[in-house]
Amino acid sequence: MQASTITAVEIYKLNIARQTQFRIAIGVFDTVQNILVRIHASDGRYGLGEGAPLPFLCGETQAIAFEASKELAGLLIGRDPYAVETRMQELGSYLVHNTTARSAFDMALYDLLAKRAGLPLYALLGGEKRSLTTDETIGIDTPEAMAAEALEAKERGFVAIKVKLGTGWPGDVARIQAIRDAVGEDILLRIDANQGWDPVTAEQILQELARFDIQYCEEPVAHWNSEALRHVRDKSPIPIMADESLFDHHDAFRLASMGACDYFNIKLAKSGGIHTALKINAVAEAAGIQCMVGCMSETRLGLTVAAHLVSARPNIVFADLDSAFGKTDVVDGGITYDGGEITLPDDPGHGADINPEFLESLESCTIT
C-alpha cells in the first residue's frame, strides 16, 4: 500500500470579538486572535488544529504564530502525516519554543490519525468516554460585579467556579468574601492569582482565604520562582496548582522533584499539544500528582481536543474548559455544554470543524 503524504497545509488567522473584556492579573483579553492549521493528506483526509497565542504567557502573538506556522508547514510537506511521534519531534527540534504554533499542528496530526483509525480521539489515546465537568471562570472586577457573575454561573448549572485574583490585599479577600456569600457553601471555589502575588503576600492571603473552603490556588507567585512556589506550598492551607511554571515534561519533573505543588495545570497551548501533554501527565502519575487540563482563548475546536485528552487519562481529574463562553461560536460539531457538563462527540477524529462560510472569510495562506 502506498504511504500517505502531506500535500498541503492551510494556515488561518482566527479573529473573534469577545462580548465583554476579561481581566486577569497579568493582562486583559479584548479579542480572540488565534490561528488555525488544516493539514491535507494524499489519501483525501484532513486534520484541523487551533493555537491560542497569549503573549504575556507563551511569548507569542497571532502574527508570530502565523509566521512560525509557515515554516513548520514547510517541514511537513511530503512527509507521512501518521507518524505523529516523528513529526512532532521534528517540529519541536526546529522550533524549540513557539508552543502555540506547534500545538495547532499537533492537534491536526492527531485528528488525522484518529480519522484514519476510525476512532474518536479519546479512544485513539487509549481512553474511554467519561463524564466531564468544567468550571466557569470569573475575571477580575469589583467584588460586587464578580459576586453577581458567580451567582449567574450557579443559576446556569455550574457546580464549580474559578475566580481570578492577584491584585493583592485587601481586594482579593473582599472578592472571595463577596462570591462565597453570593453562591453559598455548596459551590466549589477555585482561585487563580496568575503570578500576581509576591511570596509574602501569597502566604498571607492564602491563610486568610482558607476559611472560604477553596479547592486549590493556581500559580500564586512568579513563574520563574519555583523555590518560592515550594515555600508557599509548604505554608499554605490551600493546595497549590502549577500553571505558568509548567510548560513541558521537564518542568513537570523539576516541580515534582522539588515538591513545589500539589497539582499540575496542563494546557495544550503551553505544552505544544497532546504529544507533550501526555508526557507531563505520565510524570505527574509517577509523582502522585493529579492534573487539570485548562485553556487559554480557544474556541470549541481547541476545547474539544482538550476534552478528549481529559477523557483519555483518569489522572486528569479537573477540567477548566470554558473559554468558548462570551464569544461568537464558529465551530461545527465538537463538544456540547449543559451548564458545566461536557459531552464529547463520537465521530472519528476530534469531531470539530470550523464553519465553512466563516473559514472563507479569514486571512490565510497555503503551503504546498
Predicted confidence at residue 1, as pLDDT, reads 52
Q: Check if the beta carbon of residue 75 is closer than 8 Å to that of residue 109.
A: no
Residue 188 has pLDDT above 60, yes or no: yes
Does domain 123-354 fall into CATH 3.20.20.120? yes
More confident residue, 169 or 35: 35
Per-residue b/e over 129-141, b at no fewer than 16 CB within 10 Å?
Answer: eeebbbbbbbbbb
Whole-Å CA distances, 187 to 111, 125, 361: 35, 32, 41
pLDDT of the residue at 190: 98
**Is-contact 22 34, C-beta < 8 A?**
no
CA dist., res. 275 & res. 293, Å (int): 14
Mean pLDDT of 269-289: 98
pLDDT tens for each residue of 69-112: 999 999 999 999 999 999 999 999 999 899 999 999 999 999 99
What pLDDT sits at residue 229? 98
Distances (CA, A) of 218 to 241, 292, 314, 363: 5, 11, 21, 36
Domain segments of the chain as ranges: 6-118+356-367, 123-354
Q: Average pLDDT for residues 201-215, to the nearest whole number?
A: 98
Mean pLDDT (the chain, rounded)? 96
Q: Which of 68, 54, 58, 18 is nearest to 365 (CA)?
A: 68
Q: How far is CA 322 from CA 144, 198, 347, in A?
A: 22, 28, 22
% residues pLDDT > 90 (the chain):
91
pLDDT tier, 256 (very low <50, low <70, confident <90, very high otherwise): very high
What value, to the nearest 5°, has the Cα angle with vertex 229 and ends 223 and 233?
145
**Averaged pLDDT, 5-32:** 88
pLDDT band at 26 (very low <50, low <70, confident <90, very high): confident
Determine how β-strand 27-41 pairs with β-strand 188-192: unpaired
Q: What is the tens place of the pLDDT at every residue in 309-364?
A: 999 999 999 999 999 988 899 999 999 999 999 999 999 999 999 999 999 999 99
Give pLDDT, residue 187: 97
Catalytic residues: 164, 192, 218, 243, 267
What topology is assigned to 6-118+356-367 in CATH?
Enolase-like; domain 1 (3.30.390)
Report the 10 Å Cβ neighbour count for 54: 22
Alpha carbons 59 and 32: distance in angstroms, whole number: 16
pLDDT, tens digit (0-9, with 9 covering 90-100), for 134-145: 999 999 999 999
Spatial distance between the Cα atoms of 101 and 336, rounded to a whole number of angstroms: 25
Mean pLDDT of 162-169: 96
φ, ψ at 361 (rounded to 5°): -85, -5
Nearest to 209, CA basis, from 170, 168, 240, 173? 173
The C-alpha atoms of residue 281 and residue 269 are separated, in whole angstroms, by 15
What confidence score (pLDDT) does residue 301 get? 98
pLDDT of 2 over the 80 cut: no
Q: What tens digit of pLDDT does each residue of 292-303 get? A: 999 999 999 999
Please state whether beta strands 336-338 and 316-319 pair in parallel, antiparallel, or not at all (unpaired): unpaired
Report CA Rg, the chain.
20
Give the cell for residue 185: 457553601
Top-ranked range on mean pLDDT: pick from 17-31, 49-63, 267-281, 324-338:
267-281
pTM: predicted TM-score of the whole model, two decimal places: 0.96
Query: Same fold for the domain at 6-118+356-367 and the one at 123-354?
Result: no
Least Cα distance to 229 among 205, 208, 258, 253 occurs for 258
Rounded to 5°, angle at Cα 268 from 267 and 271: 85
Which pLDDT value is given to residue 266?
98
pLDDT surpasses 80 at 115: yes
